[in-house]
């Protein structure tokens, strides 16, 4: 494509397939790689292979981890009576950075989105239901304030209702259509504090 020699075209294609990377940026990254020393290039390739090999889903909360169960699920100081349900692993990091929430998490890895062909069975809802024992008093649903996030929250709350556990939804300090992972810590803490039963 575009007159690039095949190994370079392949590298540009790989970078361009990443989220938020256009072809122009992909080409810049590829040329940057070509300027690297062999040891720098090996280190980059090794980091990709190492991350893929070592990082798995926690068998309890489905968060990304290199130990199973993950450090949060096994943490001695975590409050095991609360589970906060989030869309992705980046949301866990955002909430952990507030230093306020001390409960457990459950990572759905997506939201229900019929338009994109994503149904309830395509995200980690089944795994969440299995975790609702007598030990759990509250499930906080912290999906993003988008149409899909709201629909997913309602769907999960309906499933949890017969299980006699309190279900809450984080407050809308977050702008509609907003994204949890980009919210600042104060907004996120306020959203958690202002959660309401649904
Ligand atoms: Zn875990």
**pTM, two decimal places:** 0.77
Q: Domain 6-54: which topology?
A: Helicase, Ruva Protein; domain 3 (1.10.8)
Reference 95, options 176, 197, 168, 181; nearest CA is 181
Give the distance (Å) from ligand 1 centre to CA of residue 44.
28
DSSP lists the bridge partners of residue 106 as 85
pLDDT at 198: 82
**What is the location of CATH 1.10.8.420 in the chain?**
6-54
Give the distance (Å) from ligand 1 centre to CA of residue 105.
7
Please identify, in words, the CATH class of the domain defined by 64-192. alpha beta
Q: How confident is the model at residue 177 (pLDDT cuts 50, 70, 90)?
A: low
pLDDT digits (tens, 9 = 90+) for 51-84: 999 999 999 999 999 999 999 999 999 999 999 9
Give the distance (Å) from ligand 1 centre to CA of residue 162.
25
Give the distance (Å) from ligand 1 centre to CA of residue 91.
14
**What is the location of CATH 3.40.1360.10 in the chain?**
64-192
Longest alpha-carbon distance in the chain:
64
Beta strands in 87-147 (DSSP E): 103-107, 138-141
pLDDT digits (tens, 9 = 90+) for 46-57: 999 999 999 999
Contact 157, 167 (CB under 8 A): yes
Average pLDDT over residues 180-195: 78
């Amino acid at each position: 494509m575009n007159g690039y020699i095949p190994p370079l075209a392949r590298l540009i294609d790989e970078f361009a397939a990443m989220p938020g990377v256009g072809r122009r940026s992909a080409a810049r990254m590829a040329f940057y790689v070509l300027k690297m020393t062999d040891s720098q290039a090996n280190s980059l390739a090794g980091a990709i292979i190492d991350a893929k090999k070592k990082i798995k889903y926690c068998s309890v909360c489905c968060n990304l981890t290199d130990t199973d169960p993950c450090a949060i699920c096994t943490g001695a100081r975590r409050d095991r009576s609360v589970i906060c349900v989030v869309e992705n692993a980046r949301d866990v990091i955002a909430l952990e950075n507030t230093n306020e929430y001390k409960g457990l998490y459950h990572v759905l890895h997506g939201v229900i989105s019929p338009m994109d062909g994503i149904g309830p069975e395509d995200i980690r809802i089944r795994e969440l239901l299995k975790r609702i024992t007598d030990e759990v008093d509250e499930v906080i649903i912290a999906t993003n304030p988008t149409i899909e996030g709201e629909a997913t929250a309602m769907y999960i709350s309906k499933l949890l209702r017969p299980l006699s556990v309190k279900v809450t939804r984080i407050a809308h300090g977050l702008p509609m259509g907003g994204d949890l992972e980009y919210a600042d810590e104060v907004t996120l803490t306020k959203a958690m504090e202002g959660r309401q039963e649904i």
